[in-house]
Each structure stands twice: as structure tokens, then as C-alpha cells.
Amino acid sequence: MPAPDSPPLPIHRLPLSVSPFPSSSVKPAQTSSKSAQTSIIFPTKKVPVFFYPKIENIVMKTIKTNLLITGFLILISGLTGMAQTKAWKLEDCINYALGKNIQVQKSILSINQSQLNADQAKNNRLPNLSASLSQNFNWSKNNNISIGGSGLSGANSTNYSLNSNLVLYNGAKLSTKMQQAQLDLQNGHFYSEAVKEAVGLSILNAYLQVLYAYESVSNAQKQIEATTLQLNLANERMNTGLISMADYLQIKSELSTEKSTLAAAKSQLSISKVTLMQLMEMPVDKNFEVSSPNLDSLLVKADQPDAQAIYDAALGFKPEIKNAELTKESTKLNVKIARADFMPSLMLGAGLTSGYSSLTSGSDYTGQLKDKVTPSLGLSLSVPIFQKKQVKTNVSLANIAVSNAELDELNTKNTLRKEIEQACVDVESAKSEYLAGTEQNQASQESYNVTDEKYKQGLLNSVDFLVQKTNLITSESKLLQSKFRLIFSYKILDFYKGISLTL
């Protein structure tokens, strides 16, 4: 039989038109394992330790110590085994992946960055304050008449100043930027949620692939067990001359084929586990196991999905929709910011200066600083007259950006609507395939039971028996594929309904 093939789907967006499960048939079967037993042989000859009391004490202490060490090692290995055989639920895998995924962590850093920008936008409304200090030295040439010569005389001065400015009006640019920073912060949260949803969908797909591989292995093992019994029966009948060697070899060949199918199913199981662990950003662990939930309970859903109702509800909570809407609103604020440059700006300025000069006589350093304190207060008005049409160009560019944001929002909504419509169609298609597969499998099982009874009574040769058995294996494989395809379709539909991803 051909080996199952189930490649994983991309992490960011699962194409709903493509089923995540293979269409190749897998033979179900089961093997029986023999447990190896190890016996410990103790010496039969007794050592007369009672003649040597000191030696007896030493031996008893050694035995007690060895027993304690052995018990401790057994306890540790038992705890280690329990830790290694933890069965991971779907929720555990998703939570682990969200904590390790690089894109999720980067989206959180983006939120932190937006928070800092929002805080800075508020702080920009505050006045600034700066201080300055300058120390100057200068020399000048002077003529000394009393001594008939000239020389250089030096002087020094010190200046202190405090200055502050406050924007009173600039076309509401500061308040608009503050609103925009808040929108960008909210937008960052919705973007992070969208990334987390994409990671969750990828983990769901990979998790179901592992469960599918487990059931494929289980079916292959059961089939091998059944074929082994049939081979033993064929051997007895061949020895009694009821069937030919050719009939026996056909059953034996079938058993070899089923063992090959089991090996391929186990290989696919290992690959599926590795894929899941890699999506979780977890180092590959050979002891990694997932829990096996009751999947049959997920198949009992009689409601008819309404694509329009699901879409209308999804518009209110899907993060990609909120992200597109906030992006559009933020882009509209860019138009207001650009138009603010048409308006005049008014600024309030205040200052305080003082200084010292060595050329000033009659006052020391401290006295001059007190005497020369000079406060100042003023208003500055700037009116734009001609700016080479740069402001007008900026406004036009901002309006174009708004149009692009509106188209992006419309495209996002259309994409969501198409995905929901496709999900509803996939549910109906998968449900029909599952119901048909269940009916076909029941008919194949009944036909196989009759054929098996005839074969055991010698009324049917091995060729006809194997044909009917192949039909049963094919129907079981198709039923298994349709089962997981239906479960996956249901979970995708729940995802668009806002229901958390659980099994």
C-alpha cells in the first residue's frame, strides 16, 4: 500500500481550498510486542559470615547502602519518565508556541514602541527648558604714557541664562499627533492578535496531522495482526493440502506489504511530530507525545453554517479588520497634520539672564550676578506665506494614502468574506464525504465479514479474499481522511466564529 503523505500548511494563512490531509490510502493494522525478561541468579552457596562479626556488620551496612541508592535511582528515573511522557494538549502546544514564536515577540516589541511614541506625543505639549553658561577672556592693547610704552590688558566675563518655550498654537498639530499615536498603539495590539491567530491555526493543522498519523499507525498495526492470523490459518490449510503454495504465498506477500505500510506510517508520524515541534519552536524531543482527545464528539454538529451571519459577526471582532480600520483612521489624521502647516503658529518664550564682567568696578562677583538679573517674556508669531507649494503637495500625498488605506480595508473585508464562504463550503463538502465514507465503510465491513467466513471455511480462494480485504482497507483509509478533514473544517469555521481553538 502507498505511504501516507501529509505535508504541513504554511504558518501565516491556511488556504481553505486545500485539505490538510492526504488522499492516499493507508492500510490499518496492529503488531504484538514481546517483552524481554531479565532474571537475576543469586549464589546458592552460603558464606559463613557468622564466624566473623565485624565482617557481617560491614556486609549488612553495604547491603543497606546499595538498597538506598537503588531505591533513589528508581525514584529519580520514575520522575524523569513521567516528565518525559507528558501528553501535550492542543492548548499547551499553542501557548508554548506563542511564548517562543519570533513574530509574536516582535509584535509585542512593536506594541512597546507604540506605547513610547504615545507617551512622547503627550509630552510634546509641555514647555521645554534649557540652561546655558559661557565664560569669555579677552585682551586689548593700551599705551602707558607714564612709562612711555604699551602693553596688553586682560578682562573676563561670565554669562548665565535660562530659556523656555511653549507652543500655544500650531494648527492643532500636537493634539492630532497625540490622537494618531493612540490609534497606532491600538493598532499594534490588533496586529499582535492577528499574528497569534496565524500561529494558532498552524499549530492546529500540525496537531491534527499528528493525530491522523497516530490513527494511521494504529490501523496498520491492527491490519497486520489480522493478516498474521490469516497467514497462520493458511499455513495449516496448506499443510493439510486444502490450499496450494501459491495461495499461501499471496497471504504472506500481503503481510509483507502491510508491514511496509506500517513502517511508512510510523515514519510519517515522526515527521508530523517534528513539524509540530518546529512550529512550536521546541527542540526536537523523541519522547514528545500529544494527547488523544475524543474526536468523535466533534463530528456531531447538525447546524447549517450561515456564511453571511458568520461574516457579519466576524467584522466586529476579527483583529485584521480592526487593524485595517485603525490604519485608515490614522492615515486620515495625516491629512489634518499636513493641513496644519497652512496655519500660523504662536509660541510663548521666557528667559532669565545674568552675568559678571571684570571691567565693572565697584561690585564683586556675587553682587554683579544679583544686579544683572534680567528676565524676559515674549510671544512669537510665524505666518506661512509661500512655501514652494510643499504643504499643498503634502496634503495631496496624504489624501492618496487615505484612498489606499480605504482600498486595503475593503480588500481585507473581501478576503475575510471569501475565506468564510470557502470555510462553509468546505464544511458541507467534508460532511458529505464523511457520511458517504461511513456508509461505504459499513458496507465494506459487512461484505468483508462474509468473505472472511467463506475463506475460513475453504469456500473462497486467497485472491478473491484479498480483493475484498483491499476494498475494506481502502474504505477505512478514506473514512479516516474524511473524518480529519471534517474536524479541521469545523475548527476553521469555529475560528471565524470567534471560538477558541480547542479539541
pLDDT of 301-356, one tens digit each? 767 889 999 999 999 999 999 999 999 999 999 999 999 999 999 999 999 999 98
SS3 61: helix
Q: What confidence score (pLDDT) does residue 143 get?
A: 62
Q: What confidence score (pLDDT) does residue 456 get?
A: 81
d(CA 206, CA 117): 38
d(CA 332, CA 180): 9
Average pLDDT over residues 162-171: 92
**Quick check: 211 pLDDT over 80?**
yes
Task: Give CA 145 to chain center in angstroms.
Answer: 92
* 64 — pLDDT class (breaks 50, 70, 90): low
SS3 31: coil
Picking from 332, 361, 383, the residue at the C-terminal end of a domain is 383
The H or E element containing residue 92 is helix 90-100
SS3 410: helix
What amino acid occupies position 232? N
Q: What confidence score (pLDDT) does residue 85 get?
A: 64
Residue 361 and residue 405 share a domain: no
d(CA 428, CA 418): 16
**Quick check: 232 pLDDT over 60?**
yes
Q: What confidence score (pLDDT) does residue 8 get?
A: 38
Within 10 angstroms of residue 263's Cβ, the number of other Cβ atoms is 13
- Percent share of the chain, pLDDT over 70: 81
- Percent share of the chain, pLDDT over 90: 54
Mean pLDDT of the chain: 82
Residue with cell 511653549: 166
Residue 200 and residue 316 share a domain: yes
- Cell for 334? 495625516
d(CA 459, CA 138): 126
In a domain, 8, yes or no: no
* 454 — pLDDT class (breaks 50, 70, 90): confident
Burial 61-89 (b: 16+ CB within 10 A, else e): eeeeeeeeeeeeeeeeeeeeeeeeeeebe
Q: What confidence score (pLDDT) does residue 361 get?
A: 78
In 3D space, the residue among 310, 240, 238, 266 whose CA is nearest the CA of residue 493 turns out to be: 310
- Cell for 233? 490459518
Average pLDDT over residues 436-457: 88
Q: Which residue has the higher pLDDT, 150 or 254?
A: 254
Residue 404 and residue 377 share a domain: no
Q: What confidence score (pLDDT) does residue 96 get?
A: 94
Expressed in percent and rounded to 5, the helix, strand and coil fractions of the chain are 65, 15, 25
d(CA 419, CA 425): 10
**Quick check: 296 pLDDT over 70?**
yes
Q: Kindly report, residue by residue over 264-285, the tens digit of the pLDDT.
A: 999 999 999 999 999 999 999 9
Average pLDDT over residues 63-74: 50
| CATH code for position 200 | 1.20.1600.10
In a domain, 47, yes or no: no
Residue 423 and residue 408 share a domain: yes
In a domain, 60, yes or no: no
Residue 403 and residue 377 share a domain: no
Residue 230 and residue 104 share a domain: yes
**Global pTM value:** 0.74
Strands 87-88 and 289-290 come out as parallel
Q: Write out the residue range of the structural domain in which residue 473 sits.
A: 89-126+172-342+393-497
CB 470 within 8 A of CB 227: no
What amino acid occupies position 483? K
* 68 — pLDDT class (breaks 50, 70, 90): low
Domain count, the chain: 2
Within 10 angstroms of residue 128's Cβ, the number of other Cβ atoms is 10
Q: Kindly report, residue by residue over 23-61, the tens digit of the pLDDT.
A: 433 333 333 333 333 333 233 333 333 333 343 444 345
Q: What is the CA angle 235-260-226, rounded to 5? A: 40
In a domain, 4, yes or no: no
SS3 324: helix
SS3 380: strand
Residue 274 and residue 372 share a domain: no
Residue 369 and residue 337 share a domain: no
Q: Kindly report, residue by residue over 212-231, the tens digit of the pLDDT.
A: 999 999 999 998 998 898 88
CB 291 within 8 A of CB 88: yes
Within 10 angstroms of residue 15's Cβ, the number of other Cβ atoms is 11
Q: What confidence score (pLDDT) does residue 368 get?
A: 85
